[in-house]
């Protein structure tokens, strides 16, 4: 397939902020993507493109997020640092849950830029939480603290081998993508979760054990595609017990193709 015809999918950047005590890249800010998410996108033949933040202490030139949104076909918000409670009008319950406000501001602006250009956005883990906050929702800062008798959604000792089941909401778009799968197994690597769902969104899956939201989608089909899952479909391996994310990815890329066609 010629490069010009391949879908170009943006990936939001993770941040490693400047740290003068760090031995490598001392005092420098790093922006990067996790390899699995890029490889997941590229598995379809699409091109994965990290979208760096154009702002910061060393900002130069006139490039904006709108330039990327106009050029790219769609955006993926991937995992990483906590969303800051300040981003949804709360104070951190503990300092360790302060999150990354700088990354929040960058990604909220990024979602807005892709919306302005009518381009699809798909969120993974933190990406679901950020999408919910960007559109007016709130989060639990720490599930075990704020949700009594909740399932353990993050276990650092086993990381991506922590699994639980989720119920797919009947009649949802997610249910149509997995018509034979009503209860499925997913990985679970998060300690924050949706508290108040953003206006205009529908829940597409919930944790079977405690009812926490596991998948969302903008309910107004007339508006641009916004959807997200709390688990990491990019971590699924062939033959594993977890839900295969291929149908999710293909649905998102179909929306990207449709948006590309509409803009011509």
User: If DSSP codes are grouped into helix, strand and coil, which group holds residue 115?
Assistant: helix
Report the CATH number at residue 123.
3.40.50.880
Dihedral (CA of 205, 192, 222, 115) sign:
negative
d(CA 148, CA 151): 9
The encoded tokens of residue 128 equal: 């679901």
pLDDT value at residue 8? 98
Q: Residue 125 catalytic?
A: yes
User: For the residues 143-158, what does the mean pLDDT come to?
Assistant: 89
Q: Which of 107, 190, 234, 236 is catalytic?
A: 234
Instruction: Specify the pTM.
Output: 0.95
User: For the residues 136-152, what does the mean pLDDT come to?
Assistant: 94
pLDDT tier at 154, thresholds 50, 70, 90: confident
pLDDT value at residue 222? 75
Bridge partner residues of 9 (DSSP)? 48, 74
d(CA 199, CA 196): 9
Q: Residue 167 catalytic?
A: no
The answer to whether 10 and 119 are in contact (CB under 8 A) is no
- At CA 7, angle to CA 3 and CA 8, rounded to 5? 90
User: For the residues 11-20, what does the mean pLDDT come to?
Assistant: 94
Contacts of 44 (CB under 8 A, 6+ apart): 7, 249, 250, 253
pLDDT value at residue 4? 67
pLDDT tier at 215, thresholds 50, 70, 90: very high
pLDDT value at residue 220? 86
Q: Which of 78, 164, 190, 232 is catalytic?
A: 232
Q: Residue 135 catalytic?
A: no
pLDDT value at residue 232? 96
pLDDT tier at 191, thresholds 50, 70, 90: very high
Q: Between 106 and 240, name the one with better pLDDT.
A: 106
**Domains in the chain: how many in total?**
1
Q: Which of 14, 125, 190, 204 is catalytic?
A: 125
pLDDT tier at 1, thresholds 50, 70, 90: low
User: For the residues 10-31, what does the mean pLDDT come to?
Assistant: 92
Residue 46: pLDDT over 90: yes
Residue 195 structural domain:
3-263
């Amino acid at each position: 397939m010629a490069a010009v015809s391949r879908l170009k999918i943006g990936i939001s950047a993770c941040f490693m902020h400047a740290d003068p005590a760090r031995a490598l890249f001392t005092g420098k800010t790093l922006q990067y993507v996790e390899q699995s998410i890029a490889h997941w996108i590229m598995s379809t033949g699409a091109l994965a493109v990290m979208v760096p933040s154009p702002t910061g202490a060393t900002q130069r030139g006139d490039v904006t997020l709108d330039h990327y949104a106009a050029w790219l076909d769609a955006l993926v918000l991937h995992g990483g640092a906590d969303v800051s409670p300040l981003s949804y009008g709360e104070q951190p319950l503990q300092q360790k849950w302060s999150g990354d406000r700088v990354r929040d501001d960058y990604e909220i602006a990024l979602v807005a830029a892709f919306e302005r250009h009518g381009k699809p956005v798909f969120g993974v883990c933190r990406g679901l939480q950020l999408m919910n906050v960007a559109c007016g929702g709130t989060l639990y800062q720490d599930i075990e603290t704020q949700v009594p008798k909740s399932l353990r959604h993050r276990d650092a000792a086993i990381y991506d081998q922590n699994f639980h089941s989720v119920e797919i909401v009947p009649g949802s778009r997610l249910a149509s993508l997995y018509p034979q799968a009503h209860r499925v197994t997913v990985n679970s690597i998060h300690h924050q979760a949706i508290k108040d769902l953003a206006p205009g969104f529908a829940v597409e899956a919930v944790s079977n054990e405690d009812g926490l939201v596991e998948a969302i989608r903008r309910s107004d089909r007339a508006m641009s595609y916004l959807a997200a899952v709390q688990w990491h479909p990019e971590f699924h391996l062939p033959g594993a017990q977890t839900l295969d994310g291929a149908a999710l990815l293909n649905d998102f890329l179909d929306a990207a193709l449709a948006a590309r066609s509409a803009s011509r």
